[in-house]
Each structure stands twice: as structure tokens, then as C-alpha cells.
């Protein structure tokens, strides 16, 4: 019996890995080269082995979302993003990482946290999964964080959630995680009334 479209879901699949080599060990993440038995043959794939990440849709009491702008070298842009960061602390749960990142990047804490959406960012090129959280009940952190490198000149802005969605849909803001987060938050707030 065919499965209905509403029942479709991603499916785990674990083909035999014949060989997996670390071809580049980076400061943040690595590159692997795998040979995998697939069907009657084998395939070879290179990909970034990623730690995973978190992002935060921080909404204030006026329905505005917190955006940060920082330089991203691979795209040579200062793009608008959600506060976000790597799951690079051993044993740290995604929620704790999200709470840490909101404090580090925006000097904010939130009273209420809930999972919003999780997504693989580029499954053809890396194994990164990002967990996006909705944070409300925002207030200033007790201490400000020192920032270095690309974070040293982070620009922080508050934007109405609907305007952020419009900026994504019109191509003014192209960060995929920002798009995913603000659209998921919009749907969540509509469903909750």
C-alpha cells in the first residue's frame, strides 16, 4: 500500500563504508574521503565532518527578532544571521549551547526556550545538523562578553518578524538558517494565535 505524502519522512540508511580517510584536519572541522558500497558497486564521496550547530530565534515582547551581522569569509559578505554557534563543547546539549551562544553573541538570556526546527544544512557536502530554538522572555545578561575576530564588530538589530521574512523572500538577506528560523517562527506564532 503506498504511503501518503503526509507520511513521508527522511529514512536512516547505513551502507557499508569500505574506507574512510581524514584528508584534512582543520581548526574547526575536518574533511573526510569515504568509499562506500552502494547497490552493486561503490561510490566515493568527500565531505566536511562537522560538529553540528545551534541557532536562536530570539523574539522580544513586540514580536521583533534579534539579528546579528558579521563577516563571513567564504561568501565575502557581512550577512545578517540569527545568533548561532557550534556544538563544540564536549558533552554539551544543544539547548545549553543555544543559551551559551545567545549570551556570548548578544549579551542576552531568555526565560523561555523551545525547540523550533532541526535541519541538515548541506547534506550533499557536510554532515552538519543545526538545531534552531525559539527564545522568549529576553533580558540583558549580567555580564557582557568580550568578542574577537569576526565577532568583534558584530552588529545587532531588532526587526519585526514579518519584515525579516520579507527580507529573506526578496533576497535582501540570504542566510539559509535565518530563512529557516524566521519562517518556522512565523508558522509557530500563527498556529499559537
Output b/e per residue, 66-81; b: 16+ Cβ within 10 A.
bbbbbeeeeeeeeebb
What per-residue confidence (pLDDT) applies to 152? 64
Structure-derived torsion over alpha carbons of residues 89, 95, 96, 97, reported in degrees to the nearest 10: 40
Number of domains in the chain: 2
This prediction has a pTM of 0.90
Low-confidence spans in the chain with pLDDT less than 50: none
- Residue 193 confidence (pLDDT): 73
**Is 192 designated active site?**
no
Terminal C-alpha separation, the chain: 37
C-alpha cell recorded at residue 108: 542576552
Q: pLDDT tens digits, residue range 36-85?
A: 999 999 999 999 999 999 999 999 999 999 999 998 888 999 999 999 99
pLDDT at 143: 80
Are 126 and 69 contained in the same domain?
yes
Instruction: Enumerate the β-bridge partners of residue 34.
Output: 20, 45
Question: Looking at 42, 92, 104, 151, which residue is catalytic?
Answer: 151
Q: Looking at the structure, do residues 43 and 70 belong to the same domain, yes or no? A: no
Element (H, E) at 54: strand 53-58
Residue position matching grid coordinates 504511503: 3
pLDDT of the residue at 153: 79
**Predicted pLDDT at 141:** 87
Same domain, residue pair 44 and 112: no
Do 63 and 41 share a domain, yes or no?
no
Reading the block at residue 83, the C-alpha cell is: 545568533
Q: What is the pLDDT of residue 45?
A: 96
Amino acid at each position: 500500500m503506498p504511503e501518503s505524502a503526509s507520511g513521508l519522512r527522511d529514512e536512516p540508511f547505513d551502507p557499508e563504508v569500505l574506507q574512510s580517510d581524514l584528508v584534512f584536519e582543520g581548526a574547526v572541522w575536518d574533511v573526510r574521503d569515504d568509499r562506500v558500497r552502494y547497490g552493486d558497486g561503490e561510490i566515493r564521496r568527500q565531505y566536511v565532518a562537522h560538529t553540528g550547530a545551534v541557532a536562536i530565534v530570539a523574539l522580544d515582547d513586540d514580536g521583533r527578532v534579534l539579528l546579528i551581522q558579521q563577516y563571513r569569509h567564504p561568501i565575502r559578505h557581512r550577512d545578517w544571521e540569527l545568533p548561532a554557534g557550534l556544538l563544540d563543547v564536549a558533552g554539551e546539549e544543544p539547548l545549553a549551547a543555544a543559551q551559551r551562544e545567545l549570551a556570548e553573541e548578544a549579551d542576552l538570556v531568555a526565560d523561555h526556550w523551545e525547540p523550533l526546527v532541526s535541519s541538515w544544512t548541506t547534506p550533499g557536502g557536510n554532515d552538519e545538523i543545526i538545531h534552531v530554538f525559539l527564545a522568549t522572555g529576553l533580558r540583558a545578561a549580567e555580564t557582557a562578553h568580550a568578542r574577537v575576530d569576526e565577532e568583534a564588530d558584530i552588529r545587532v538589530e531588532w526587526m519585526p518578524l514579518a519584515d525579516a521574512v520579507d527580507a529573506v523572500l526578496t533576497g535582501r538577506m540570504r542566510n539559509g538558517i535565518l530563512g529557516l528560523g524566521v519562517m518556522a517562527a512565523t508558522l509557530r506564532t500563527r498556529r499559537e494565535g
